[in-house]
Amino acid sequence: MGAEQYRPPLFSVAPMMDWTDNHYRTVARIISKHAWLYTEMLAAETIVHQQGDLIFGIFSEQHPIVLQIGGNNLDSIAKATQLANSYGYDEINLNCGCPSPKVAGHGCFGVRLMLDPKFVGEAMSVIAANTDVPVSVKCRIGLDDHDSYNELCDFIYKVSSLSPTKHFIIHSRKALLNGISPADNRRIPPLKYEYYYALLRDFPDLRFTINGGINCVDEVNAALREGAHGVMVGRAAYNYLWNTLAHVDTAIYGAPSSGLTRRQVLEQYQIYGDAVLGTFRE
Ligand SMILES: Cc1cc2nc3c(=O)[nH]c(=O)nc-3n(C[C@H](O)[C@H](O)[C@H](O)COP(=O)(O)O)c2cc1C
Between the CA of 34 and the centroid of ligand 1 the distance, in Å, is 20
Between the CA of 235 and the centroid of ligand 1 the distance, in Å, is 7
Q: Return binding residues.
A: 15-17, 68, 138, 171, 211-213, 234-235
61 vs 175: which has the higher pLDDT: 175
Name the band, by pLDDT with cuts 50, 70 and 90, for residue 99.
very high
> Helices H, strands E: what count in the chain?
12, 8
Report the nearest-CA residue for atom 1 of ligand 1.
16
Q: Relative to the CA of 95, which ligand 1 atom is closest? A: 11
- Give the residue, out of 11, 12, 13, 16, with the most ligand 1 atoms within 8 A of its beta carbon, to mutate for a pocket test: 16
Which domains, ranges and CATH numbers included, belong to the chain?
11-278 (3.20.20.70)
pLDDT at residue 256 in the model: 92
Name the band, by pLDDT with cuts 50, 70 and 90, for residue 180.
very high
Give, in order, the Cα–Cα distances in Å from 100 to each of 17, 84, 97, 269.
Answer: 11, 25, 9, 32
270 vs 230: which has the higher pLDDT: 230
Q: With 0-12 CB in 10 A as exposed, 13-18 as middle and 19+ as buried, what is 94?
A: buried
Q: Is the pLDDT of residue 5 over 90?
A: no
Q: Relative to the CA of 233, which ligand 1 atom is closest? A: 26
Between the CA of 281 and the centroid of ligand 1 the distance, in Å, is 35
Between the CA of 19 and the centroid of ligand 1 the distance, in Å, is 9
Q: Is the ipTM of this complex over 0.85?
A: yes
Q: Is the pLDDT of residue 15 over 90?
A: yes
Name the band, by pLDDT with cuts 50, 70 and 90, for residue 6.
confident
Q: Is the pLDDT of residue 58 over 80?
A: no
Q: Is the pLDDT of residue 133 over 70?
A: yes
Q: What percent of the chain has pLDDT over 90?
A: 83
Q: Relative to the CA of 97, which ligand 1 atom is closest? A: 11
What is the C-alpha separation between 103 and 112, in angstroms, rounded? 8
**pTM attached to this predicted model:** 0.95
Lowest mean pLDDT, pick from 72-81, 123-132, 258-267? 258-267
Which residues have C-beta within 8 Å of that of residue 85, sequence separation ≥ 6? 130, 131, 132
Protein residues whose CB sits closer than 6 Å to any atom of ligand 1: 14-17, 19, 40-41, 68, 95, 97-98, 138, 171, 186, 211-214, 233-236
Active site positions, annotated: 98
Give the tens place of pLDDT for each residue, 251-270.
Answer: 999 999 989 999 999 999 99
* Strand 91-96 with 230-233, pairing: unpaired
pLDDT at residue 51 in the model: 82
Q: Return binding residues for FMN.
A: 15-17, 68, 138, 171, 211-213, 234-235
